[in-house]
Amino acid sequence: MNFNAPHIITEGVKQYQLGVFKGKEIRYDFEKILDYLNAKGQLMFGKDFKIYKEDRDILYKLCLYFIQDKERCHQLDIDIRKGILLSGPVGCGKTSLMKLLKHIVPHQRSYAVIPSRNIVFAFNHLGYKIIGDYGDQRLYCFDDLGIEPLGVHFGQQCNVLGEILLSRHELFINQNYKTHATTNLNAKELEERYGSRVRSRMRELFNLVAFNKKTSDKRK
């Protein structure tokens, strides 16, 4: 990566210029970002990957967030200090987008996309150490939040992701470390899954960005 030109990204032998410098700022071009995302998506997920027209509005919001366009994000009621909670029906492309979008800003600190159920499986094996491990200063996107099973370690049940979200909230309040997540659940279902206390913290932790409920399953 060229730190003097982070808006110019090289993939193989091809360069993608996502915008131009204006003074000390990068002025990004949304259409050029989409071209890059389509190409990068095919490299990451296979030649059948494509950016769908029906997703342009949600991609526009997400791109503004990732490039940290304060003015436009403010107009859309997106707080760039918070993380993203990307919600939508099964197969709409949430996970792929969260794996993909971080590549448009290679100069920013990246995050790991971790399936929530894998964290619970690790808890079942290793116990409460796992909650501490994910309450650290690394950045995460918890994938498929809310459909993971309860954790069980030596007969004790634990709502593992609920506890981790409380730790992540504390980390955000005290040190401004972001957390991202994807979910198939709506606000009511999340509250039923994690309780009102965690749901309240999630409002402070995340910007909710939601696909239309009628978005098609792209896996079919």
Q: What is the pLDDT of residues 4-63, one digit of tens each?
A: 788 999 998 999 999 998 888 899 999 999 999 999 999 999 999 999 999 999 999 999
In a domain, 147, yes or no: yes
Provide the whole-model pTM. 0.94
In a domain, 81, yes or no: yes
* Rounded distance between C-alpha atoms, residue 147 and residue 152, angstroms: 15
Q: Residue 122 is part of which domain span?
A: 8-210
In a domain, 183, yes or no: yes
Q: What pLDDT digit, counting tens, does each position of 160-210 carry?
A: 999 999 999 999 999 999 999 999 999 999 999 999 999 999 999 999 999
In a domain, 85, yes or no: yes
Six token digits for residue 71: 């003015």
| Cα-trace Rg, the chain | 18
* CATH code at position 112: 3.40.50.300
In a domain, 99, yes or no: yes
In a domain, 75, yes or no: yes
Six token digits for residue 183: 């979910």
Could you tell me which residues come within 8 angstroms of residue 16 by beta carbon, excluding any fewer than 6 positions away? 8, 9, 10, 32, 35, 36, 39
- The domain total for the chain is 1
Largest CA-CA distance found in the chain, in angstroms, rounded: 60
In a domain, 126, yes or no: yes
